[in-house]
Amino acid sequence: MHQDNSSNSLFAFEKLESNVRSYSRSFPVVFRKAAGAILEDENGFEFIDFLSGAGVLNYGHNDPDFLNDAMKYLKSNGIIHGLDMATTAKREFMECFDATILEPRGLTHKFQFPGPTGANAVEAALKLARKVTGRHSIISFTNGFHGVSLGALAATGSRYYRDAAGLPASGAVFMPYDGYLGADNDTSEYLDKVLADASSGVDIPAAIILETVQGEGGIKPASKDWLQSTERLCRKNGILLIVDDIQAGCGRTGNFFSFEFADLSPDIIVLSKSLSGCGLPLSLLLLKPELDVWRPGEHNGTFRGNNLAFVTGTAALRKYWTNEKLSEGVAETGNIMSDRLRQVAQSGRDQGLLVRGRGMMLGLDCNTGKLAERIVRKAFEDGLVVERCGAEDQVIKLLPPLTIDGQTLQRGLDILDSSVRASA
Ligand code: PLP
């Protein structure tokens, strides 16, 4: 039993922090330290981390090489804040990203650093698409999640978040995602039809924004065929394709970008979460050069680019993306995880448990939020941090660090397994 029942350790949070806090409710201990896939609380209890900061810590907590580079940079009085000025750290990051990620994939996209959050990057992407095309509407997909600031929220499906907006979350039209109407229904055909029909009521949008594996929406992977048809529709209708790779990118599904398996060529790619390698906030828009119609400073912000994050982001690229090892490891570990999860699902078959996902972005659909909640709560008591997603929070989302060692992974899966058995 790992849960911290010692007196008042959470009192300050309950007294001082807004009601809006959420993860501290799901994991009611005070965390103090972390390394790799292990989190430690103030009482010295260790937890295996299958949450990874909701996809921020693909390389685990506190990678010593990244921290070393960060410490050297800090000690040398490296620029910490530089607005969007030219800095050595930014140049090294862009040149390294270009050489290790873009060039080998034949991509010539330009870099835009918006504010530090994923939603900041989505806002910038939508704004740019509107500016380039002169159209205002955006097509997004059922169960999609793109952030909760107003522009990004318009493209986010969740009623819980939309209801909190206080304003109509307008500007996007939702179309059925792949599989939404059942496995036999190709929803891209419906999209094709409404775009071709001049009186369908659906305007030709500035952009279509999608996740190739929906994360918050319940770990829903789109098929290669559907993604390719959707890209073709974009080309046919002069619509920009935005891939939101904030959660599925940076190696989570195996390749650096989650769309590589489908050979897509997105006009705009948004990245954030694991981009800095160690949890520092950093977001990036990659845009095709011909879309770079911004006037200087037209999309502005004080915290555009984060120099310390550039340093650790460069360290991550150098350590993990100059060869295929990490990608191969993700494929291998992903298979181990999904095999084990299928066994777990089998043991809970009376509840109709289902496994979905790609690479190391996997979900155990428990059918009901109540069952999923019981399972993750029991898992937490036994030392595993794992969160839920999906419209009813019915899916257990497994995002261990991509670098997790085999033994820790097995221990985490064992805890999940026994939690399912105990809760079913
Ligand atoms: N897009 C996707 C696919 C995400 O998963 C998230 C966050 O979970 C966001 C956008 C928003 O990112 P942020 O929470 O940093 O604003």
Q: Does ligand 1 have an atom closer than 6 angstroms to the CB of 178?
A: no
Ligand 1 centroid to 145 CA: how many Å? Answer: 7
Ligand 1 centroid to 216 CA: how many Å? Answer: 8
Q: What digits encode the pLDDT tens for the residues 35-75? A: 999 999 999 999 999 999 999 999 999 999 999 999 999 99
Q: How confident is the model at residue 350 (pLDDT cuts 50, 70, 90)?
A: confident
Which of 7-16, 78-87, 222-231, 399-408 is the least confident region? 7-16
Residues pairing with 220 in the sheet: 214
Q: Does ligand 1 have an atom closer than 6 angstroms to the CB of 63?
A: no
Helices (H) and strands (E) in the chain, counts: 14, 17
Residue 390, pLDDT score: 98
Please report where in the chains the tokens 């870099």 appear, as a residue. 111
Q: Does ligand 1 have an atom closer than 6 angstroms to the CB of 151?
A: no
What would the mean pLDDT of 310-336 be, rounded to a whole number? Answer: 98
Inform me whether the pLDDT recorded for 5 exceeds 70: no
Inform me whether the pLDDT recorded for 339 exceeds 50: yes
- pTM for the model stands at 0.97
Residues pairing with 39 in the sheet: 34, 47
Rg (CA), the chain: 21
DSSP string over 334-381: HHHHHHHHHHHHHHTGGGT-EEEEETTEEEEE-SSHHHHHHHHHHHHH
Residue 4, pLDDT score: 52
Largest CA distance in the chain: 65
- Whole-angstrom CA distances from 53 to 23, 295, 400 are 10, 35, 10
Inform me whether the pLDDT recorded for 6 exceeds 80: no
Q: Does ligand 1 have an atom closer than 6 angstroms to the CB of 211?
A: yes
Cα 262 to chain center, whole Å? 18
Residues 118 and 269: their CA atoms lie apart, in Å, by 12
Inform me whether the pLDDT recorded for 99 exceeds 50: yes
Residue 8, pLDDT score: 58
- In the chain, the domains with their CATH numbers are 11-63+324-423 (3.90.1150.10), 78-320 (3.40.640.10)
Q: Ligand 1 test: best mutation among 243, 244, 272, most atoms within 8 Å of CB?
A: 272
Ligand 1 centroid to 418 CA: how many Å? Answer: 31
Inform me whether the pLDDT recorded for 371 exceeds 70: yes
What phi and psi, each to the nearest 5 degrees, are found at residue 308? -65, -35
Q: Ligand 1 test: best mutation among 138, 146, 161, 252, most atoms within 8 Å of CB?
A: 146
One-letter amino acid of 190? Y
Residue 187, pLDDT score: 98
Residue located nearest, by CA, to atom 7 of ligand 1: 147
Q: What digits encode the pLDDT tens for the residues 374-400? A: 999 999 999 999 999 999 999 999 999
Atom of ligand 1 nearest to the CA of 245: 3
Q: How confident is the model at residue 211 (pLDDT cuts 50, 70, 90)?
A: very high
Ligand 1 centroid to 38 CA: how many Å? Answer: 23
Residue 7, pLDDT score: 45
Residue located nearest, by CA, to atom 11 of ligand 1: 147
Inform me whether the pLDDT recorded for 131 exceeds 60: yes
Q: Which residue has the higher pLDDT, 357 or 348?
A: 357
- Are 171 and 151 in contact, with CB atoms under 8 Å apart? yes
- Mean pLDDT estimate for the chain: 96
Q: Does ligand 1 have an atom closer than 6 angstroms to the CB of 387?
A: no
Q: How confident is the model at residue 424 (pLDDT cuts 50, 70, 90)?
A: confident
Q: Does ligand 1 have an atom closer than 6 angstroms to the CB of 117?
A: yes
Ligand 1 centroid to 224 CA: how many Å? Answer: 23
Q: How confident is the model at residue 270 (pLDDT cuts 50, 70, 90)?
A: very high
One-letter amino acid of 301? G
Ligand 1 centroid to 200 CA: how many Å? Answer: 31
Residues 363-402 as b/e (b if ≥16 CB within 10 A, e otherwise) read bbbbeeeebbbbbbebbbebbbbbbbbbbebbbbbbbbbb
